[in-house]
C-alpha cells in the first residue's frame, strides 16, 4: 500500500469519534476487546468489533491473540507519520506567520 493510500486510511479511521475513543483507551495500556466494550457502553460488541477492524486495517492497532482473548495494542507510528508529514510542517509555517505579525505590530 502506498504511503498516500495509507495516510488516507489513517485519516478516515481518525475521522470517527468512536474510533478516537477506542484509541484513547488504548493509550493507557493494551486492552482486550471485552475491556473496550466495557469502556464504551454506548456501543454494542458488534459495533466495537467493526471499529477495531477499521483501526487494524489502517495499522493504528496491532492485535495479538492469547487463547480466547484478543488483545488490542495501540500503534502510534501511523499518527506520527501524519504528524511529521502534515502537522509539523504547517505548525512551522504558522509560527513564522505569527512571528511576522508580531514584528509588524512592534514596528
Q: Model confidence over 49-105: pLDDT tens digits?
A: 999 999 999 999 999 999 999 999 999 999 999 888 877 777 777 777 777 878 878
Q: Let me know: does 78 contact 38? Beta carbons within 8 Å.
A: no
Residues 6+ apart with CB under 8 A from 77: 59
Pairwise pLDDT comparison (76 vs 107), residue with the higher score: 76
Q: Give me the CATH topology for the region 3-75.
A: Arc Repressor Mutant, subunit A (1.10.10)
The domain segmentation of the chain, as residue ranges, is 3-75
Closest C-alpha to 14, from 80, 65, 64, 72: 80
Distance in angstroms (rounded) separating the CA atoms of residues 91 and 77: 19
Residue 5: pLDDT band (50, 70, 90) is confident
**Model confidence, pTM:** 0.79
The upper half-sphere exposure of residue 6, i.e. CA atoms within 13 Å in the direction of its Cβ, equals 13
Amino acid at each position: 500500500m502506498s504511503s498516500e493510500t495509507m495516510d488516507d486510511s489513517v485519516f478516515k479511521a481518525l475521522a470517527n469519534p468512536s474510533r478516537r475513543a477506542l484509541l484513547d483507551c488504548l493509550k493507557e495500556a493494551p486492552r482486550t476487546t471485552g475491556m473496550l466494550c466495557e469502556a464504551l457502553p454506548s456501543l454494542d460488541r458488534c459495533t466495537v468489533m467493526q471499529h477495531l477492524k477499521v483501526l487494524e486495517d489502517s495499522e493504528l492497532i496491532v492485535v495479538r491473540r492469547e487463547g480466547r482473548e484478543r488483545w488490542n495494542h495501540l500503534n502510534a507510528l501511523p499518527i506520527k507519520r501524519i504528524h511529521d508529514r502534515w502537522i509539523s510542517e504547517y505548525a512551522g509555517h504558522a509560527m513564522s506567520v505569527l512571528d511576522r505579525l508580531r514584528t509588524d505590530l512592534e514596528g
